[in-house]
């Protein structure tokens, strides 16, 4: 293992390294957003440069698009691709049914659109993201700026009748100003502690006027690749019902990701 990588970065790296093995020549690949997905984009770029892998990447945010171009991945829009072979992304939480909470980076709207336009979604993560019940991580809800306080009040009123432990919400901030997504929207984070019925919650939230999308990914993820700090990697395939484990090794001096 490279001494330049922290234990958590090593876990993210080996998960990303294993996940890009599923990418084949000629594929159209959805590229996720966030710190873990950034490792994956770098690993894909390495394959493009060293193996001549020919792929087209559909990024889920402007920052992912910039990184993909930087490492040599051909970037196209989802409208150009129309349909994708595979999307690889991170997650903030996942349960054993491979339902997810995403959106810690504020890109869950594009991430969900891209993931659902793919034949398969692979999530790369570390063991800390696995939970028995979703809800420990704040659930992001993207809302349009117009009337966001009304939308927030309606969300809180709705939560009172649903299977959640907490009902606190807060507008996500970026310093002293509201956080703004790539689509120009705001995000309301819900502090729920435990979500009893994620499917119901997702459907109900998206019916509230002003809500664009929420960070619950239900029945979208096909595989989870879990990296460990010792180089071990687990691959859980929900469709095949398999749980495999292997080891990813890389050179002692390998440090391709020092700028992430």
Which single residue is written with the structure tokens 């071990």?
232
Is 102 annotated as ligand-binding? yes
- Asked if 34 and 105 count as a contact pair (C-beta separation under 8 A), the reply is yes
Q: Which residue numbers are catalytic?
A: 111
Determine the Cα–Cα distance for residues 6 and 27; give it in Å rounded to an integer. 32
User: Is 227 assigned a ligand-binding role in the annotation?
Assistant: no
Is 189 annotated in some ligand binding site?
Answer: no
> In DSSP terms, which residues pair with 217 in a beta bridge?
100
Helices then strands, counting H and E runs in the chain, come out as: 7, 17
Q: Is 104 annotated as a binding residue?
A: yes
- Each as own residue / partner, the long-range contacts of residues 229-233 (CB below 8 Å, 24 or more positions apart, any chain) are 229/7, 229/8, 229/10, 229/11, 230/1, 231/1, 231/10, 231/14, 232/14, 233/14, 233/15, 233/17, 233/18
Do the annotations mark residue 223 as ligand-binding?
Answer: no
> How far is the C-alpha of 107 from the C-alpha of 142, rounded, in Å?
9
| 175 labelled ligand-binding | no
3 appears as a binding residue in the annotation: no
Residue 112 annotated as binding site: no
33 is in an annotated binding site: yes
Residue ranges for the binding site for substrate? 33-36, 89-92, 102-105, 129
Residue ranges for the binding site? 33-36, 89-92, 102-105, 129
């Amino acid at each position: 293992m490279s001494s330049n990588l922290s234990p958590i970065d090593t876990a993210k790296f080996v998960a990303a390294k294993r996940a890009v093995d599923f990418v084949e020549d000629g594929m159209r690949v959805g590229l996720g957003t966030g710190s873990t997905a950034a490792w994956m984009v770098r690993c894909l770029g390495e394959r493009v440069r060293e193996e001549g892998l020919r792929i087209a990447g559909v990024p889920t945010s402007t920052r992912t698009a910039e990184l993909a171009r930087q490492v040599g991945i051909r970037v196209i829009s989802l409208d150009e691709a129309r349909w994708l072979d595979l999307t690889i992304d991170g997650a903030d939480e996942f349960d054993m049914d491979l339902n997810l909470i995403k959106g810690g980076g504020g890109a869950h709207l594009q991430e969900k659109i891209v993931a659902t336009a793919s034949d398969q979604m692979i999530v790369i993560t570390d063991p800390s993201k696995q939970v028995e019940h979703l809800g420990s991580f704040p659930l992001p809800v993207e809302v349009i700026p117009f009337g966001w306080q009304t939308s927030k009040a309606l969300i809180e009123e709705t939560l009172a009748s649903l299977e959640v432990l907490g009902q606190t919400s807060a507008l996500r901030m970026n310093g002293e100003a509201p956080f703004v997504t790539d689509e120009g929207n705001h995000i309301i984070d819900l502090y729920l502690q435990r979500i009893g019925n994620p499917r119901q919650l997702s459907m109900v939230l998206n019916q509230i006027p002003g809500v664009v999308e929420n960070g619950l990914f239900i029945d979208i993820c096909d595989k989870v690749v879990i990296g460990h700090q010792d180089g071990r990697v687990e691959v859980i395939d929900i469709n095949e019902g398999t749980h495999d484990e292997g080891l990813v090794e890389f050179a002692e001096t390998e440090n391709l990701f020092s700028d992430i």
